[in-house]
Structure 1
């Protein structure tokens, strides 16, 4: 599988966050964001007239925090939250997850290596530090799902997440492609996990480009080895698109 070519000015770029723009970490709050990440995204946003977005399992507020308040278009929590540039936030209506959280919290109390992460409209159970508990985590999440109307489970790298059944990265990209400045552009999606496969399938059906970051089976037709290699690609793409402009991103 080959690396992607550099994009043209007619493209729209969509990026997953963890495992794609940043390396995975033992816990969600211990990631290390490279200093040039926000700068490169800012340059490409300018060069593409704003047609660049983050599509992540993280909430929008966390993406803003880690990118030093760079206001990008972001689909957060797999599309449960959606904000186009610095416009208003749109959130899917979600029933209370408190009863489901009680079931999950009980398991975390028994196994402190597990981590329950509450998000707007979702709950993730991380077992990266206790991979032997995978089957137990999945069983408890399936039990918790009985207490959460309209929700579905999504499995990722050492995580199983309860999210709205209507929220997928493919649906988020599809919605954004109907918005300015993404409309009528060719979509490119970069992601590392099984949670990104629906978006890979969508963009390729639209004549776009899907890029898998890292190893593993995938529907994507292109691959980059790791986030560091993606950053090198971003720098080359910024230069290709003439993004070295006088205006610079300031933290």
Structure 2
């Protein structure tokens, strides 16, 4: 993976962009557990403004399942890619999900591994299973070795390495594949893509947008093929809020059921 120069001054977001955003570690800070993440104040309003300014060409592309993303982003209902591309909901509300053959025995093996190594957390997702080791970082190498051995004769499945998490998913699923599918459809079709992410699971997304003439933006340190970088999620949220204010200054979000 090439190292790129750190560029922490992004050009203003323009109205011809197709905007793709990761969630954990990108829009929101990573929490000790997936269910402990919080949505920062003002984020929903910013995303509403940007969706309006971009004529709907805004999608969240995440490792989380669609149902979790909808709950976190309520009342927004955005185009989404979940579980690293295993699930995808298009702008016209059509949902697709890739099949994950031979996953049930893998789920059982991952659960058994977590029982042997204290501090590991198993997260079962539609079409995938994740093993978090944030609470036991010393167990990470042993867990990874065990999963690689488990998948050695299962070419239809792949191991994805994120921040303190190992995930088994269908080999054909990726964030890059999901972004390319969005770019073939309205309202993303014909726009210049920009994808923001924070870890190794986002690298194929960076490659996809940059191959299409767009820009990948890496959040935080570490090697990346992304062409630009921001230091942390707070810096991204600030840039998105300033972009929303410039592109949609008169936008008034519709009232929600709670208002």
Sort the TM-score into its range (normalised by shorter chain): over 0.9
Whether the 8 Å contact between 1:97 and 1:148 is mirrored in structure 2 is no
Q: Which runs of 5+ in 1 are unaligned?
A: none
Mapped to 2, the partners of 1:246 and 1:126 lie a distance apart of: 40
- Structure 2 partner of 1:34: 40
Contact 2:117 2:139 in 1 (8 A): no
TM score, norm. by length of structure 1: 0.95
* Alignment match of 2:123 (pick from 117, 120, 128): 117
- Matched-pair contact (CA < 8 Å) for 1:169–1:196: yes
Measure the CA separation in 2 of the matches of 1:211 and 1:89: 27
1:187 to 193, 211, 214: 193
Once the two structures are TM-superposed, the CA of residue 108 in structure 1 deviates from its matched residue by 1.1
Q: 2:16 aligns with which of 10, 19, 35?
A: 10
Deviates most, 37-46 or 83-92? 83-92
Task: Give the superposed CA RMSD.
Answer: 1.5
Q: Which moved more, 1:105-114 or 1:153-162?
A: 105-114
Q: 2:164 & 2:128 partners in 1: Cα distance? A: 16
- CA distance, structure 1, for counterparts of residue 203 and residue 155 of structure 2: 25
Q: Give the CA deviation at 1:190.
A: 0.3
Q: 1:165 to 1:122 in 2, by over 3 A?
A: same
Q: What stretches of structure 2 of length at least 5 have no aligned partner?
A: 1-5
Aligned length: 251
Aligned equivalent of 1:97:
103
Identify the match of residue 143 of structure 1 among 131, 149, 152. 149
Q: What is the 5 A alignment of 1:1-251? A: 1-2=6-7, 3-85=9-91, 87-145=93-151, 150-248=156-254, 250=256
Change (3 A) 1:61 1:71: same
C-alpha separation between the residues in 2 aligned to 1:243 and 1:55?
Answer: 26
Runs of 4+ aligned structure 1 residues displaced above 4 Å come to 146-149
